[in-house]
Structure formats: C-alpha cells, structure tokens
C-alpha cells in the first residue's frame, strides 16, 4: 500500500507546476508516494509538459474546468477514494491536496507522514506554509471555521487591530505561535493531508464549491464525524458503567 497519494490540480500554471513537481519528485525519506496531476483544460502547454518531463506522474486530462473540488475528486477517484464508505483497500494511507504553486522542501512530505503516523487522532493536517514573495507565514494555513461573529471580527478590522487576541483574532489564529503545533478547525487546500479513514467517513469534496471554501467544508465534515464518534463512544462507556 502506498503511504501518500498526492493530487495536484492545474489550470494554466505550467511553469509553477513544473517547479512543484520537481520539488515533489526530489523528496527524501523512507516512504512511498504516488502523484496524480489533474489538468482542468489548460491551454498553456501544461499537459505536454507533464507528459514529457514527468512520465512517472499519473496524468488525468479533464475535458472541462470543473473547479478545485471537481478536479481533486477526479484525483481521489484515481487513488481509490469514491465516497463515504467506498474506499479501495489498497488506497493510499493518506491523501494530499497540493496546489501547483507550492514547493515542498526535501523532507517535508516524509515529515508529515511520520507526524500523522505518530498521531492516530489526527484526521487532517497541514504544515507551516510560507509565502514565496516575502517568506512570511501564509495566514490561511491555519483557520477557525468562519462563524458570523468570527467573520465580523475579521472583516471589521478588529482582528488586525488585535492580532494577539484569542477573542478577536480567531479567523486566522494569529495569536498562536506559528512555530508550535496546534489543533485548528481547518488547514488550507494548498497543502491538506487527510487520513484514509477520515475520507471514508466524510466522503469527497463538495463539487458545488467551484473554488474557495471547499477545504473548510471538508474539514467541518471530518470534525463533525469525529465529534459524533466521540459522543457515541462516551455514551457506550456510560452504558457499560451502569
């Protein structure tokens, strides 16, 4: 069984995609992986580039640009994930959504697999992401679910005024130490690694989201299932204690 199935959805980002694939295939560490590139109808030569320069990648050419969720679901299907409770036995232990403009350092993929192996309670994980133009933290890599009050604090400017406030800065969790591990509601789809069992429980991405928000929705469904399972476990323990 492959350890990590990597899905990269591309649309007219040939040169960025090339760099991403170069870093992925230069990965180091004792783990196995499979790369699936889904092209959403590019017209910039992306398809020929992948086929010529990266024949080791599994390539899927979509006839339409169905969006982020649609493209990633095509990749998930190719890896053996089809929906709730419908996952091939030999599907990868983890599935990774990786953006075509994301570069991974040599041991990053291995380190993430190793971390999730050591934390069986973690269904979704993402690493610290840095913006290439300035080296600053990509604040989207760790988020709370955008409830009305959390969104109000963010869009009203209160989160910017009080970035270290656990109350006002929950949208991007800027009060957290960016170098410390933390439990968050959602990571970003630029690098979103899910446990096989989490996908089997929550299903695939919701294709009604063309772009943006689908990663939050997926994380919410995984968390709801986890909470339901925990409530069921506690209920069973209470019954056993009676």
Band of residue 239 on the pLDDT scale cut at 50, 70, 90? low
Does residue 165 fall inside a structural domain?
no
Residue 159 lies in a domain: no
DSSP-derived pairing of the beta strands 94-98 and 191-195: antiparallel
Give a yes or no: residue 229 inside a domain. yes
In this predicted model, what pLDDT tens digit does every residue of 208-231 receive, in sequence order? 988 888 999 999 999 877 654 554
Instruction: Identify whether 177 is part of a domain.
Output: no
CATH of the domain at 42: 3.90.550.10
Q: What is the pLDDT of residues 12-54, one digit of tens each?
A: 999 999 999 999 999 999 999 999 999 999 999 999 999 999 9
The answer to whether residue 134 is domain-embedded is yes
Decide if 68 is inside a domain: yes
Residue 167 located in a structural domain: no
Check pLDDT > 50 for residue 233. Answer: no
- Measured CA to CA, the distance from residue 217 to residue 185 in angstroms comes to 10
What does the pLDDT read at residue 224? 79
Q: Measured in whole angstroms, how far is the alpha carbon of residue 191 from the centre of its chain?
A: 4
Question: Is position 151 within any domain?
Answer: no
Count of domains forming the chain? 1
Compare 87 and 238 and report the one with higher pLDDT.
Answer: 87
Is the pLDDT assigned to residue 107 strictly greater than 50? yes
pLDDT digits 0-9 by tens, 157-196: 999 999 999 999 999 999 999 999 999 999 999 999 999 9
SS (H, E, C) the chain: CCCEEEEEEECCCHHHHHHHHHHHHCCCCCCCEEEEEEECCCCCCHHHHHHHHCCCCEEEECCCCCCHHHHHHHHHHHHCEEECCEECCCCCCEEEEECCCCCCCCCHHHHHHHHHHHCCCCCEECCCCECCCCCCECHHHCECCCCHHHHHHHHCCHHHHCCCCCCCCCCCCCCCCCCCCCCCCECCCCEEEEEHHHHHHHCCCCCCCCCCCHHHHHHHHHHHHHHHHHHHHHHHHHHHHC
In the predicted structure, residue 242 carries a pLDDT above the cut 80: no
Give me the domain span that covers residue 44: 4-143+184-213+220-241
Q: Considering the chain, what percentage of its residues have pLDDT values greater than 90?
A: 85
pTM: 0.89
pLDDT in tens, 125-153: 999 999 988 999 999 999 999 999 999 99
């Amino acid at each position: 069984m492959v350890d990590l199935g990597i899905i990269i959805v591309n649309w007219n980002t040939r040169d960025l995609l090339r760099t991403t694939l170069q870093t992925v295939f230069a990965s180091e560490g004792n783990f196995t992986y499979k790369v699936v590139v889904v092209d959403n109808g590019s017209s910039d030569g992306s398809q020929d580039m992948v086929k010529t320069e990266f024949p080791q990648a599994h390539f899927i050419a979509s006839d339409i640009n169905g969006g982020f969720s649609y493209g990633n679901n095509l990749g998930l299907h190719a890896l053996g994930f089809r929906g709730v409770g419908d996952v091939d036995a030999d599907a990868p232990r983890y599935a990774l959504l990786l953006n075509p403009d994301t570069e991974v350092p040599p041991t990053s993929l291995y380190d993430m697999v190793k971390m999730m192996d050591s934390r069986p309670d973690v269904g979704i994980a993402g690493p610290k992401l840095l913006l290439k133009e300035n080296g600053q933290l990509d604040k989207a890599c760790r988020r709370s679910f955008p409830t009305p009050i959390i969104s109000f604090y963010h869009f009203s400017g209160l989160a910017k005024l009080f970035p270290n406030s656990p109350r006002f800065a929950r949208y991007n969790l800027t009060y957290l130490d960016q170098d410390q591990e933390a439990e968050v509601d959602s990571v970003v789809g630029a690098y979103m690694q899910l446990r096989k069992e989490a996908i089997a429980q929550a299903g695939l991405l919701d294709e009604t989201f063309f772009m943006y928000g689908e990663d939050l929705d997926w994380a919410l469904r995984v968390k709801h299932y986890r909470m339901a399972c925990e409530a069921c476990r506690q209920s069973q323990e209470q019954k056993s204690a009676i």
